[in-house]
Each structure stands twice: as C-alpha cells, then as structure tokens.
Amino acid sequence: MIVKELLLEDNYKILLEYDEDIDYYTQCKIILDNGKKKYVLIKDNILYFKNLFCQFLYNDKSYQLDTRIDENDLAILYIKYIKYIMYGKKDKDLIIEEQNWIGEKYICFETRKYITWFFYKQNDICIKVTRNTKLAKFKIFRRDIGFINFSKAQYVCWVNEIQRLSQMI
C-alpha cells in the first residue's frame, strides 16, 4: 500500500492511498488525517479523481462560494434542503434557484458518513468535511470534522500528482 501526502495544512493532511499495482480499476482512497483520527472521505478509481479535481481546478469561477451562504452552515443548510425535497416545506434560510439549493454544487463527494465540500473563497481553495447527517435521521452535528484553506498553487500540485498517477496506468 502506498500513501502519498497530497496536502498538509496546520493539523490536517489529505492523503491518497493506493496499491502498488495501480490500474484503471484500482480503488484509491482520499483520506483526511487530523493527527488523531483518519477519515476515509471517498474510495474510487484514479481516473474518477483526476476528472473530478481537474473540473474543480479549471472552473474556479463556478465554485466561488456564494456570498449568501455562510460556510459554517453548509451541512445544516443541506439538511434543510433534503427536508425540503422530502416534505416540501421550505426553510427561510434556504435559497433555491432553478429548483436546487445554491450550495449543492459545492459538494465534491458524499459518502454514507461524510460530505466533502470544495469551494473557492477569494483566491483560496477550501475543503470542508462534515458528517453526513441526512443518514443519521437528520441529527445535526455542529462540529465539522475538518476545514482546510490553501492556495491554488498547492491545489495544482495535488492535481498534478493525481494526473501523474493516472498517466502511469
């Protein structure tokens, strides 16, 4: 098993874990490590990661955090959106455009346990990891699992590493 450190910021690391014999179908993991605990954010193949992260890198204007959203409320607003979809009752804090909540586009990936949000805030790239509360019977967790703020140059290095791996296949 190979573990590459993609990003290091204060107390957090983003790790990429994969087998030595990597091919198109090899399951790779993106892991958040806070020094105390490791959280597997997603498992998928390297080409999926390459396409996803390149899309985010080259569409920075599309992922600029909407000023009407408080980044600290992303998970709570998402729960309100899910309740709106299920029950048809719209919360006053929920901003819906073209039948979708405006914050949904910042979800980079979602697993049964965690939601990983990617967005630009001014010139920085932010990754926020929250618990997936919609699967926990709408129990709202106020504490985020992790929040990383880093430069576009750091993110480009991350994407380059994933592209390099995908080219080895």
CA distance to 27, 52, 80, per residue, from 46 (Å): 8, 10, 33
To the nearest whole percent, how much of the chain has pLDDT over 90? Answer: 21
Q: What is the pLDDT of residue 67?
A: 95
105: nearest Cα among 93, 95, 90, 91 = 95
pLDDT in tens, 89-109: 899 999 999 989 999 999 998
Q: Are 101 and 74 in contact (CB under 8 A)?
A: no
| Number of domains observed in the structure of the chain | 1
For the whole model, what pTM was predicted?
0.82
pLDDT in tens, 60-78: 788 999 999 999 899 889 9
Range of the domain at 115: 2-168
